[in-house]
Structure 1
Amino acid sequence: MHDLSLFIKLIIVIAANFCFSITYVLLMKFGNGMYAIDAILRYTESKFGLRYDIGRIGVDAVFLSTGFFFGGIVGIGTVIAFILTGPGTLLVEKLLFDKKRRV
């Protein structure tokens, strides 16, 4: 992977994050379970109106900063995933399951 350009590496990271978003949405929608963080965020969304994407970015920020403070490496892929996971999951959910879009 060292011989790939930075642009190609960024595209791969974004595509992988999109695949993760698809996984999160399918797990939540088909009742096959979900990750604990997603369950908590969906609960706070329904009870308190906290948007899922904002909550996900906040939780990811806590995890990212905690990992960094304990000596972890934060690269461009980490930052891309931090920014895209919440909004990407909502986008995929709207694209796949928004009843208003169906013809």
Structure 2
Amino acid sequence: MDLGFGLADWMLYTLWAVMGLLILDFLVAFIRSFWKGSFDTSFILGYLKDILYFVFPLQFLISMYALDPSGWILITFYFICGIAVVIKYLKDIFSKFQ
């Protein structure tokens, strides 16, 4: 696999980071609730909402790239939003270990 440093590659890496941290956060919550004995499937709905509220808008921004007259406004907004989601999940993961 060739890791490129083009703009499209960094957009893909941002989405991978978001999805990877979402899955990692889910696994941490799943394992902690399982070992506590308080396993409830309702916490899964929160992660489905996260996909709807965080991942879907990132995909939507990318799909609107052709409508951006400047060619950089939506991409900049995509990276700002992607970094914000990554920071959110890092904070959530670290708070579960405290």
**TM-score, normalised by the number of residues in structure 2:** 0.36
Q: Under a length normalisation based on structure 1, what TM-score does the superposition of the two structures give?
A: 0.34
